[in-house]
Structure 1
Amino acid sequence: MIQRIQTVYLLIVTGLLITAMCLPMGYFTDTMGEHSFKALGIELNGAYESTWGLFCILLLSTIVAVATIFLYKNRMLQIRMTIFNSLLLVGYYIAFLAFYFALKNDANMFRVGWALCLPLVSIILNILAVRAIGRDEVMVKAADRLR
């Protein structure tokens, strides 16, 4: 069952989350110039502000996505882990908003980077994976009933 479509979805989720960890989520612009807001932190006005919580959420979500691929023998646990992964990514956006409002000043303007939408795409792919895993579970139960 490892060659199913949900494996492809979860592999794409893993790639997107690794990409989101590496690329800037946005840019703060002030009189000193443009500062990139990455998952590990941002340097504003000569001080480095750490946002390691965002990096940890993305790393944990990536690990959960990879681990979920290998749970193909226990489909209900695979569904639960995929839903948990989606909830982690929703928590990522909540944490991002908290860091955004904590770091934003009146002098700063914020420009969103395209890497900020990658966890949202991952949530959509997680939903598609849950649907595919559910279809497999229904198909297996139907085959067991026929025996």
Structure 2
Amino acid sequence: MIQRIQSIYLLLVAVIAGGLPFVFSLWKNTSDATIYAINQPLILGLFIVSAIMSLVSIFMFKNRKSQFVINRLNIILNFILLIVLVYQSLSLSGEAEVSEKGIGMILPIVSIVLLVLANKAIKKDEDLVKSVDRLR
């Protein structure tokens, strides 16, 4: 059933991870050069893998346990992406390289929140199915 609320959350994660890194900048250099995710292959790869994992998870609605596991792996991947972004922004010799951080730095945080909400909804569905099975 694709019309469940967790499918909406996962679709939002796919849009955030797959499309918005091309729109929002990660940071600006002191020379006003805007750095996007497409300029950083590791960061771009992590965003794309996160989007693919959320799309795969949407269509695994019949197997809620594996959907839950894929979402947890996606949460871990987004934490790794967040760590890489923070490391990149802090290790570029301080304020000499990164003069302004962009909104693209918080995209993994938004994805993590949406994935946690999706996992709560999946857990709620699983508990409902178990309670109905007990009544039979």
TM-score under structure 2 normalisation? Answer: 0.91
2:123 maps to: 134
Asked whether 1:143 is paired with 2:132, we answer yes
Give the counterpart of 1:67 among 47, 52, 56.
56
Asked whether 1:12 is paired with 2:12, we answer yes
Q: What SS does the aligned partner of 2:60 have?
A: coil
Structure with higher Rg: it is 1
Unaligned runs of 5+ in 2: none
Q: How many positions carry a matched residue from both structures?
A: 135
CA distance in 1, matches of 2:126, 2:53: 20
Q: What SS does the aligned partner of 2:42 have?
A: helix
**Structure 1 range deviating more: 114-123 or 74-83:** 114-123
Give the counterpart of 1:35 among 33, 36, 50.
33
Quote how far apart the aligned CAs of 1:119 are: 1.6
CA distance in 2, matches of 1:132, 1:106: 42
CA distance in 1, matches of 2:95, 2:124: 51
Cα deviation digits, residues 101-137 of structure 1 (max 9, x gap):
4433663342111122122111000000000000000
Cα deviation digits, residues 9-29 of structure 1 (max 9, x gap):
001111111233203111111
CA distance in 1, matches of 2:88, 2:102: 15
Larger strand proportion of the pair? 1
Amino acid at match of 2:38: L
Amino acid at match of 2:3: Q
1:81 maps to: 70
CA distance in 2, matches of 1:131, 1:21: 26
CA distance in 1, matches of 2:14, 2:83: 20
Larger helix proportion of the pair? 2
Q: What pairs up with 1:87-98 in 2 under 5 angstroms?
A: 87-98=76-87
TM-score under structure 1 normalisation? Answer: 0.85
Percent identity between the aligned chains? Answer: 33
Asked whether 1:57 is paired with 2:46, we answer yes
Unaligned runs of 5+ in 1: 42-50
1:24 maps to: 25
CA distance in 1, matches of 2:119, 2:96: 44
Q: Contact 1:19–1:115 at 8 Å: present in 2 too?
A: no
Q: Contact 1:40–1:55 at 8 Å: present in 2 too?
A: yes
